[in-house]
């Protein structure tokens, strides 16, 4: 099965101010994820970040290189992060098999040549969410189980943003070049994520929303702090956040999302907070 991809180019904040709803969704929304028996990728020109998915069913799926990389193998100059949001599956990296249960992760270092995805059950397949960034050094491939993550409790019911943040692929858990990935789950009764909002000019970010009920939605806010825009998100959709943009959302029910970052700084706390009463 061919690895499919599309390209998104970077946009300036001045241009985005003039976008209508359709154009905002065209530029920043990723809505073709978690398609059975397919690998779909979006290659962005924000830090050359790639976001995508692989859902193997009756047969395995091989991660193929894409034209934009100009390389023989996908990981010749890249690293890869994988989080399974489906049922049990395997990722085989150059002959080594890693079993990933629901909400377990795998970091794959630069230079590995063959990456294949498979599901234990075709009826209840694994659903692999993928993030990839350029890499300058080869670090070891490492599985990150639920017991390996760093967990932080954030927010409060009083401000409708009580949530659990789990750091999966960060430099305090696994050696990486620049990729960072984690998962945040909103607690019942709360709705807001990443509030107070912030920007980080040295890193871009992608949010992947999942565990959103089919009849519910998440309203994702982006844009400059004083010139915000919104995108309505459904289950298994992702959104690209430029370095100059806030990235925050509020759902009509409980939900989870995976955050992935790339840039020149691995300090998770590198962010400029925006005062809530100054957002526009």
Q: What is the pLDDT of residues 57-99, one digit of tens each?
A: 999 999 999 999 999 999 999 999 999 999 999 999 999 999 9
Confidence of residue 271 (pLDDT cuts 50, 70, 90): confident
In terms of Cβ atoms closer than 10 Å to its own Cβ (0-12, 13-18, 19+), residue 120 is: middle
Sheet with 150-154: strands ordered across:
29-30, 237-241, 203-210, 256-263, 180-186, 163-169, 150-154
Helix or strand holding residue 232 (H, E): strand 227-233
Q: Which two tokens stand for residue 16?
A: 């985005």
- Residue 29 bridge partners (DSSP): 239
Render pLDDT for 122-148 as a digit per residue (tens, 0 to 9): 999 999 999 999 999 999 999 999 999
- Whether residue 196 has a cis bond before it, omega within 30° of 0: yes
Token readout for 104 is 């377990």
Q: Are 161 and 154 in contact (CB under 8 A)?
A: yes
> In a 3-state reduction of DSSP, which class is residue 234?
coil
Confidence of residue 180 (pLDDT cuts 50, 70, 90): very high
DSSP 3-state of 60: coil
Whether residue 247 is annotated as binding a ligand: the answer is yes
pTM, entire model: 0.96
What average pLDDT does the chain have? 96
20-38 average pLDDT score? 97
Q: Is 50 helix (H, G, I), strand (E, B) or coil?
A: strand
Indicate the CATH number of 3-278 among 3.40.50.720, 2.60.120.10, 3.40.190.290, 1.10.10.60: 2.60.120.10
- In three-state form (DSSP H/G/I as H, E/B as E, the rest C), the secondary structure along 132-144 is EEECCCCCCCEEE
Which tokens is 109 given? 């270092």
Q: Are 28 and 238 a contacting pair, CB within 8 Å? A: no
Nearest to 258 by CA among 245, 266, 249: 249
Q: What was the pLDDT predicted at 1?
A: 56
The answer to whether 152 and 98 are in contact (CB under 8 A) is: no
* Contact in structure between 235 and 214 (CB atoms under 8 Å): yes
Ligand-binding site membership of 198 (annotated): yes
What is the pLDDT averaged over residues 179-187?
Answer: 97
7-36: average pLDDT: 97
DSSP one-letter code for 34:
S
Spatial separation of the C-alpha atoms in residues 212 and 195, rounded to whole Å: 19
């Amino acid at each position: 099965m061919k690895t499919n991809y599309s390209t998104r180019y970077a946009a300036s904040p001045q241009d985005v101010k003039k976008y209508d709803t359709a154009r905002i969704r065209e530029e920043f929304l990723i809505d073709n994820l978690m398609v059975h028996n397919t690998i779909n990728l979006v290659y962005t020109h924000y830090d050359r970040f790639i976001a995508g998915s692989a859902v193997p069913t009756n047969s395995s799926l091989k991660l193929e290189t894409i034209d934009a990389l100009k390389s023989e193998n996908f990981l010749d100059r890249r690293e890869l992060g994988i989080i399974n949001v489906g049922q049990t599956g395997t990722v085989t990296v150059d002959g080594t098999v890693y079993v990933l249960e629901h909400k377990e992760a795998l970091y794959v270092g630069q230079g590995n040549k063959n990456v294949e995805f498979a599901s234990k059950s075709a009826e209840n397949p694994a659903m692999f969410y993928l993030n990839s960034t350029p890499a300058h050094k080869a670090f070891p491939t490492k599985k990150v189980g639920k017991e390996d993550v760093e967990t932080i409790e954030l927010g409060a019911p009083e401000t409708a943003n009580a949530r659990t943040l789990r750091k999966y692929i960060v430099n305090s858990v696994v050696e990486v070049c620049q990729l960072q990935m984690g998962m945040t789950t909103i607690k019942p009764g709360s709705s807001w994520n990443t509030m107070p909002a912030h920007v980080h000019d040295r890193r871009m970010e992608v949010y992947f929303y999942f565990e959103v009920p089919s009849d519910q939605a998440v309203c994702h806010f982006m844009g400059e702090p004083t010139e915000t825009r919104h995108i309505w998100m459904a289950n298994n959709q992702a959104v690209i956040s430029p370095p100059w943009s806030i990235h925050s959302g509020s759902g009509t029910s409980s939900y989870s999302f995976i955050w992935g970052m790339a840039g020149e700084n691995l300090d998770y706390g590198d962010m400029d907070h925006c005062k809530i009463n100054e957002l526009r």
